[in-house]
Amino acid sequence: MICLGIESTAHTLGIGVVEGNKVLSNIRALYKTPKGEGIIPRKAADHHSENFERLVAEAVEKAGIRVKDVGLIAYSKGPGLGACLKVGVVAAKNLALNLNVPIVGVNHCIAHIEISKLATGFSDPLVLYVSGGNTQVIVKHDKRYHVVGETLDIGIGNLIDVFARNLGLEWAHGSVVEQLAREGKYVELPYSVKGMDLTFTGLLTHAIKKLQTTRKEDVCYSLQETAFSMCVEATERALALTRKKQVVACGGVAQNTRLQKMLQLMAEPHGAKFGVAPGEFNADNGAMIAYTGLLMQQHGMAEKQSEVKAIQKFRTDEVELW
Ligand code: FE2
């Protein structure tokens, strides 16, 4: 069966076409915020609405199929920004009705995990999920992904994005912070792990203040080292408890090569393998929604039209799987 997946939780509109476990196409359009500003949900939603038709046409063409070959529509049900999610929900509902095919709502976080399992070949990993809105340590048990540790305030991606905007750069993004960090030296910043939970706002405040007196490269390096060490410590504690033999990082921040290296070094002494999916699957994308939609459909989890709706605060551990 061929599934078309729609991702629209935040600044990315992604359309992916997947058949079985083969990604046929995976394209996206990014809403870019004006310099110095965070995401404006209403404008991001307009962007997704304006680009939807074009992206679907491109994704279908690139996949080498016709729209009528699509047998399932999957959409991001949440978590995410209400205005952005709603564009995806309405578009998905219309497509499914027009094509007369089933529809399935996918938890965005679970989609990151499932596509990472496909890409790494891991069957039962301990997961560090690091993105703009989320930072969670996750383990699957009894048909459910359980969150065993998480941020108590902001997501790590949010920490890095807000800090990057304070650097006054034209393109304020985690990849720029990663680049600058390569030239930096360590300066002390606050470190806050509580059991397997984390907090980032104190670190953010101090890092922004430090920019007044310290080279930006040094603050970038120290911010990354501190925030990533916190995530790795929480993950290691969970690994020691669960004794899993596979560790996966997923979500936008998982593209950071320094974080990948640190997780690799942590996993080895525990006899665990570390793996990460290619960047296109850690950035928000439609293929992960399509792939997870297919898995859910196989397990009888398609929705009735009346159940098709967005859930803004949709937690990873709310979904009973298989
Ligand atoms: Fe994401």
pLDDT digits (tens, 9 = 90+) for 41-84: 999 999 999 999 999 999 999 999 999 999 999 999 999 999 99
Instruction: Indicate the range of 138-152, 169-183, 263-277, 297-311 predicted with least confidence.
Output: 169-183
Proportion of the chain above pLDDT 70, given as a percent: 99
Task: Tell how far the Cα of 286 is from the centroid of ligand 1, in angstroms.
Answer: 10
pLDDT reported for residue 2: 98
CATH of the domain at 195: 3.30.420.40
Task: Tell how far the Cα of 152 is from the centroid of ligand 1, in angstroms.
Answer: 18
Are 67 and 117 in the same domain?
A: no
Task: Tell how far the Cα of 185 is from the centroid of ligand 1, in angstroms.
Answer: 30
Are 207 and 197 in the same domain?
A: yes
What are 105's strand-pairing partners? 75
Give the total number of structural domains in the chain: 2
Are 225 and 267 in the same domain?
A: yes
3-class DSSP state for residue 295?
helix
Instruction: Indicate the range of 46-60, 154-168, 285-299 predicted with least confidence.
Output: 154-168
Closest by alpha carbon to 223, among 204, 236, 209, 201?
Answer: 204
Average pLDDT value for residue range 4-20: 97
Are 274 and 145 in the same domain?
A: yes
Where does the pLDDT of residue 304 fall: very low under 50, low under 70, confident under 90, or very high at 90 and above? very high
96: CB partners within 8 A, 6+ apart = 73, 102, 103, 305, 308
pLDDT reported for residue 36: 64
pLDDT reported for residue 37: 77
pLDDT reported for residue 169: 77
**What's the rounded Cα separation, in Å, for the pair 4 and 293?**
9
Q: Is 70 exceeded by the pLDDT of residue 157?
A: yes
Whole-model pTM: value is: 0.96
Nearest 5°: phi and psi at 205? -60, -45
What range defines the domain where residue 172 resides? 112-281
3-class DSSP state for residue 233?
helix
Task: Tell how far the Cα of 215 is from the centroid of ligand 1, in angstroms.
Answer: 31
Are 239 and 123 in the same domain?
A: yes
**What's the rounded Cα separation, in Å, for the pair 83 and 236?**
37
